[in-house]
Amino acid sequence: MGRVLIVGSIALDTVQTPYGRVEEELGGAGTYASCAASLMAPVRLVGVVGGDFPQEHLDLLASRGIDLSGVERRAEGRSFRWVGAYSGDMGQAKTLDTQLNVFADFQPTLPGDYRQTEVVFLANIHPQLQLNVLEQCAAARFALADTMNLWIESEQAALLEVLKRVDLALLNDAEVRMLTGANMLPRAARAVLELGPRYVVIKRGEHGALLASREEFFAAPAFPLLDVRDPTGAGDSFAGGLAGLLARLGKMTWDNLRRAVVVGTVMSSYCCEDFGLRRLQQVTEEDLLERYEILRGMTEIAAWNEPSVGQQ
Amino acid sequence: MGRVLIVGSIALDTVQTPYGRVEEELGGAGTYASCAASLMAPVRLVGVVGGDFPQEHLDLLASRGIDLSGVERRAEGRSFRWVGAYSGDMGQAKTLDTQLNVFADFQPTLPGDYRQTEVVFLANIHPQLQLNVLEQCAAARFALADTMNLWIESEQAALLEVLKRVDLALLNDAEVRMLTGANMLPRAARAVLELGPRYVVIKRGEHGALLASREEFFAAPAFPLLDVRDPTGAGDSFAGGLAGLLARLGKMTWDNLRRAVVVGTVMSSYCCEDFGLRRLQQVTEEDLLERYEILRGMTEIAAWNEPSVGQQ
């Protein structure tokens, strides 16, 4: 079994949704992705926290077997904080406050043994930092990167360099349109692939995910949740689940990529069911398989040429 | 093989998209649905046109075997006209002008032999007219109805009565949220089912369609088009394809409903490829099967318990 290296934020989130509010909850892209990936494969996390960061949060991650030797602890600094709110269909967070604190001058440095990790997930950080990480772990067999509208607008050159070097790019529908200028998502997906990566996943929130290679598309619906209590971290849980399954399977085939997108979909669904990591951290392999099979069942298209079709 | 009765508008559309403009093109919900359904099963159309309606348009529909004896021709009246424009992701039309003309006091009256039709599609017309039609064809084995935001806001009592009496309700995501007050689409689907119909289809444009029964969900992605030249009529082509396959298969099972949603998806994809009916009218059964199989392939989720999963 391979391992997963995850580089991203470790945060204290204050989140308001129609279902309630949490203050200084364990959050951050690196955290969500690590939690999801660690159900599938051993995880190594790279990030930074301040002296105010609750030890219990680190203990929780460690209890999942996540290697925290790449998490820098700056005793004198304050941890990254994010304050956001969701309303309506909760498709997008409204950011009310961002305090980068120790994250402002985060320079990811990989412990020596991290450099041989098989699968690398670069969560949404400055593309120049993503490049630095890619240089440090050139032996990785598969790298995937997330990004955001800010970098697409302001750091396009570095971002394009990242896209040249990763195997899979993760973007949401608004980001992929912004990056490529294409309105139709299948065309936008193709345009991203022309920038370098072998695969692209377009995350569409409640509408699921679209995976594309140069030859094919794979569409996975979102898991049909009746309630979303807090979508924070859904995209990162998706990416973590995806990276985790790829590491576990070892072979980065198209079929395994498809399976990995479904595992990511399941992980993000559990993430959305409660605030922070509350539900995600309890997910068992049995839970995962249950929703995996439900998604299989709810997407299966019966063959046309069965006896009942084409005749009365 | 069963037949399909379609009640809806027959229009002259002027449409502007980033790909061009057409003037007084054959359009209307009843027209699109009939064209799509007629590839699958015999169709009977109910609608109204004015004395100015080009005979060639009626000839086109007749050439597809569509029974036009339910189309009222008012020599003294002007035909229904719609002017709309699309931009960006073309998810929604901007209506620039609507001239109801003869459609304003349209009172659908079914020729006697129409009353025995097996499948009835009530395209988007006033819900009171939909009710009138349902009373005229009480022997129908399966009825489906489309609607729009205007009726949800202004004619809710009549619309709720329609929903009690049909087997399947078709709504887009904005409409289903407006009707039910539920933000999450799976919950909104359930809420619609509580209003009466056995099935609901939530149309999500480029994100595909969600079919729900009281027990299950089925998610179909949109066909991955690289270009959409004109989405006018996509939802009606979807409904027509769906109704047509149900009529052809005769058995209204959950599996056939799923197949019908895929056929609708394929029909709407062809509809979007050119202005008006230009592409849709050329679709062959071979074209349909080709995209049906592509959709099957792009949604298939490999089993978890195959040899390569769960072990390296």
Residue A312 lies in a domain: no
pLDDT, one tens digit for every residue, chain A (312 residues)? 899 999 999 999 999 999 999 999 999 999 999 999 999 999 999 999 999 999 999 999 999 999 999 999 999 999 999 999 999 888 889 999 999 999 999 999 999 999 999 999 999 999 999 999 999 999 899 999 999 999 999 999 999 999 999 999 999 999 999 999 999 999 999 999 999 999 999 999 999 999 999 999 999 999 999 999 999 999 999 999 999 999 999 999 999 999 999 999 999 999 999 999 999 999 999 999 999 999 999 999 998 866 555 444
At B82 the pLDDT is 97
B102-138 tens-digit pLDDT: 999 999 999 999 999 999 999 999 999 999 999 999 9
* pLDDT above 70 for B291: yes
Give the pLDDT score at A309: 58
CA distance B276 to chain A (A): 19
Task: Judge whether B138 is closer than 8 Å to chain A, CB to CB.
Answer: no
Residue pair A299/A225 in contact (Cβ under 8 Å)? The answer is no
Residue B253 backbone dihedrals phi, psi, to 5 degrees: -85, 165
Those of residues 101-120 in A touching chain B at CB distance below 8 A are none
Domain-located, residue A103: yes
* Domain CATH code at residue B41: 3.40.1190.20
pLDDT digits (tens, 9 = 90+) for B207-235: 999 999 999 999 999 999 999 999 999 99
> How confident is the model at residue B311, as a pLDDT?
46
| Domain membership flag for residue B79 | yes
Structural domain contains residue B305: no
Q: Classify residue B312: in a domain, yes or no.
A: no
* Assigned domain for A145 exists: yes
Give the pLDDT score at A306. Answer: 65
- Which helix (H) or strand (E) segment is B98 a member of? strand B94-99
* pLDDT of B89: 82
Side-chain half-sphere CA neighbours of B26 within 13 A: 21
Q: Is the pTM of this model over 0.90?
A: yes
- CA–CA dist A211, B238 (Å, integer): 24
Residue B152: enclosing H or E segment and its boundaries?
helix B149-154
Instruction: Check CB contact under 8 Å for A225 and B295.
Output: no
pLDDT in tens, B70-84: 999 999 999 999 999
Residue A100 structural domain? 4-299
Contact between B98 and B84 (Cβ < 8 Å)? no
Q: Which two tokens stand for residue A254?
A: 């198209």
pLDDT digits (tens, 9 = 90+) for B24-49: 999 999 999 999 999 999 999 999 99
CA pair distance A74, A53, nearest whole angstrom: 10
Distance from CA of B99 to the nearest CA of A (A): 30
Q: How many CB pairs under 8 A join A and B?
A: 134
pLDDT digits (tens, 9 = 90+) for A97-148: 999 999 999 999 999 999 999 999 999 999 999 999 999 999 899 999 999 9
Cα–Cα distance between A311 and B124 in angstroms, integer? Answer: 30
Model pLDDT for residues B54-111, shown as the tens digit of each residue: 999 999 999 999 999 999 999 999 999 999 999 988 888 999 999 999 999 999 999 9
In chain A, residues with a C-beta closer than 8 Å to the C-beta of B287 are none
pLDDT of B309 reads 58
> How many structural domains are present in chain A?
1
Q: What per-residue confidence (pLDDT) applies to A91?
A: 82
**Considering the domain boundaries, does residue A144 fall inside one?**
yes
SS3 call for B198: coil
Q: Residue B3 — very low, low, confident or very high, per pLDDT cuts 50/70/90?
A: very high
Does B19 touch chain A if contact means CB atoms closer than 8 Å? no
Question: What does the pLDDT read at residue A312?
Answer: 40
Question: Helix A29-37 crosses helix A55-63 at what angle (to 10 degrees)?
Answer: 30
pLDDT at A304: 82
Q: Hey, are the CB atoms on B186 and A295 less than 8 Å from each other?
A: no
CA distance A284 to A252: 24
- Tell me the ipTM for this assembly: 0.94
Optimal mutation site among B193, B299, B308, B311, interface A, most CBs of chain A within 10 A: B299
H or E element that contains B119: strand B119-122
Please name the residue that has the structure tokens 């941890």: A79
Q: Which residues of A79-118 are buried (b: 16+ CB within 10 A; e: fewer)?
A: bbbbbbebeebbbebeeeeeeebbbeebebebeeebeebb
- Cβ contacts (< 8 Å) between B203 and chain A: which residues? none
The predicted-structure confidence for B255-265, as pLDDT tens digits, reads as follows 999 999 999 99
Residue B79 one-letter amino acid? S
What is the band of B307 on the pLDDT scale with cuts at 50, 70, 90? low
Spatial separation of the C-alpha atoms in residues B175 and B188, rounded to whole Å:
10
**What's the rounded Cα separation, in Å, for the pair A63 and A82?**
25
At residue B312, the pLDDT reads 40
**Confidence check: pLDDT of B306 > 70:** no
Average pLDDT score over chain B: 95
d(CA A238, CA A64): 18
- Kindly state whether residue B307 falls inside one of the protein's structural domains: no
Amino acid identity of residue B193, one-letter, is L
